[in-house]
C-alpha cells in the first residue's frame, strides 16, 4: 500500500469550492498530500481548508479562474511559492449545460468549452511547463471527464462534446508529455448528484436508476480509489487511460 502514499507531494485541485472538487481535496489530503485549493470563489474554500487542517493535513488557497490564462499563471505562481512544485493536478473545474441544441446560443457554447476543455488544457499546460522548467521528472495530471464523453444522451450536446474532447486531449497530452515523465489520465464518472447536476437529477432520477445495472448513482466517495490510483506511484506505468466509474450505466446507456 506504500505506493498509494502521497506524503511529501503537493496536489492542486481546480473547482475545489464544492462538489467533487471538495471531495477530491479531502481524499488527497487523507493520503498525505499537501493540497492547493483552487477556485474562483475563494471565500467558499475557507471552511474546507479548516476541515483539512483539523484532520492534520495542510491546505492553501489560491484564486483561479480557469477561463483566464492570467489567472491560471498567477495561481500557479502563488501555489509554487506556498508549497513548492505541484506534482499532482486534478482538472475538476467544470460547468454543465442541459438544454436541447436548438435552444442553445453561441454564448453557451463558449461558456462550456472555455471551462471544460480550454480551461483544462491551459491548466495542464501551465502545470507541465513548470515541471519541465524545474527539471522534475514526475507529474500526474488527472482530467475529470464524464461517461457523457463516451456515450450520447438527449439535451447535453455541448457538455458531452466538451467531455469527449477532454478525453481526446488526455490521450494527446499523455503521448506528448510521456517522455518528460508527466502522466495524463482521466476519470469518467457516471451521474453524480452534486450542486452542478441537481437540476438534471430532479428531472430524471427515477427513470435513470432503473437503467443502471448496480442500481445506484455514483457517490463522490466512489471515486476515491480511482483518484488515488492515478495520483500515486501505484499507477506509475499508466498514461492516456480513462477509468470509468458509473455502476455499469454506460453498458446500457439510455437517457
Q: DSSP for 14-48, please give it.
A: ETTTSHHHHHHHHHHHHTT-EEEEEES-GGGGHHH
Q: Which of 159, 191, 200, 217 is catalytic?
A: 159
State the DSSP code for 141: E
pLDDT tens digits in sequence order for the chain, 255 residues long: 789 999 999 999 999 999 999 999 999 999 999 999 999 999 999 999 999 999 999 999 999 999 999 999 999 999 999 999 999 999 999 998 777 778 767 788 899 999 999 999 999 999 999 999 999 879 999 999 999 999 888 888 999 999 999 999 999 999 999 999 999 999 999 988 776 666 767 777 777 888 889 998 899 999 999 999 999 999 999 999 999 999 999 898 655
Q: Which domains does the chain have, with CATH numbers?
A: 2-252 (3.40.50.720)
The verdict on whether 159 is a catalytic residue reads yes
pTM of the complete model: 0.94
List Cα–Cα distances, 200 to 103, 107, 157, 205, 219, in angstroms. 16, 21, 14, 8, 16
Question: Per the structure block, which three cell numbers stand in for 42?
Answer: 475563494
Question: Per the structure block, which three cell numbers stand in for 214?
Answer: 448496480
Question: Among all chains, which residue has been given the C-alpha cell 460547468?
Answer: 95
Contact 212, 251 (CB under 8 A): no
CA–CA gap between residue 204 and residue 225 (Å, rounded): 27
At residue 187, the 3 state secondary structure works out as strand
CA–CA gap between residue 156 and residue 91 (Å, rounded): 20
Amino acid at each position: 500500500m506504500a505506493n498509494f502514499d502521497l506524503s511529501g507531494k503537493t496536489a492542486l485541485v481546480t473547482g475545489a469550492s464544492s462538489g467533487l472538487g471538495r471531495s477530491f481535496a479531502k481524499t488527497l489530503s487523507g493520503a498525505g498530500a499537501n493540497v492547493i485549493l483552487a477556485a474562483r470563489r475563494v471565500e467558499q474554500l475557507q471552511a474546507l481548508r479548516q476541515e483539512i487542517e483539523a484532520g492534520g493535513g495542510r491546505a492553501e488557497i489560491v484564486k483561479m479562474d480557469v477561463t483566464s490564462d492570467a489567472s491560471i499563471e498567477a495561481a500557479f505562481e502563488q501555489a509554487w511559492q506556498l508549497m513548492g512544485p505541484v506534482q499532482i493536478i486534478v482538472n475538476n473545474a467544470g460547468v454543465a449545460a442541459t438544454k436541447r441544441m436548438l435552444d442553445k446560443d453561441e454564448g453557451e457554447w463558449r461558456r462550456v468549452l472555455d471551462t471544460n476543455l480550454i480551461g483544462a488544457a491551459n491548466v495542464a499546460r501551465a502545470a507541465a511547463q513548470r515541471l519541465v522548467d524545474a527539471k522534475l521528472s514526475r507529474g500526474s495530471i488527472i482530467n475529470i471527464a464524464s461517461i457523457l464523453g463516451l456515450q450520447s444522451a438527449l439535451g447535453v450536446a455541448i457538455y458531452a462534446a466538451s467531455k469527449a474532447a477532454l478525453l481526446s486531449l488526455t490521450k494527446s497530452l499523455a503521448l506528448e508529455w510521456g517522455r518528460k515523465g508527466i502522466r495524463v489520465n482521466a476519470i469518467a464518472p457516471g451521474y453524480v448528484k452534486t450542486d452542478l447536476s441537481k437540476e438534471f437529477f430532479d428531472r430524471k432520477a427515477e427513470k435513470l436508476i432503473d437503467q443502471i445495472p448496480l442500481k445506484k448513482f455514483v457517490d463522490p466517495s466512489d471515486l476515491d480509489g480511482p483518484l488515488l490510483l492515478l495520483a500515486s506511484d501505484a499507477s506509475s506505468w499508466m498514461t492516456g487511460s480513462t477509468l470509468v466509474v458509473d455502476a455499469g450505466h454506460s453498458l446500457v446507456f439510455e437517457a
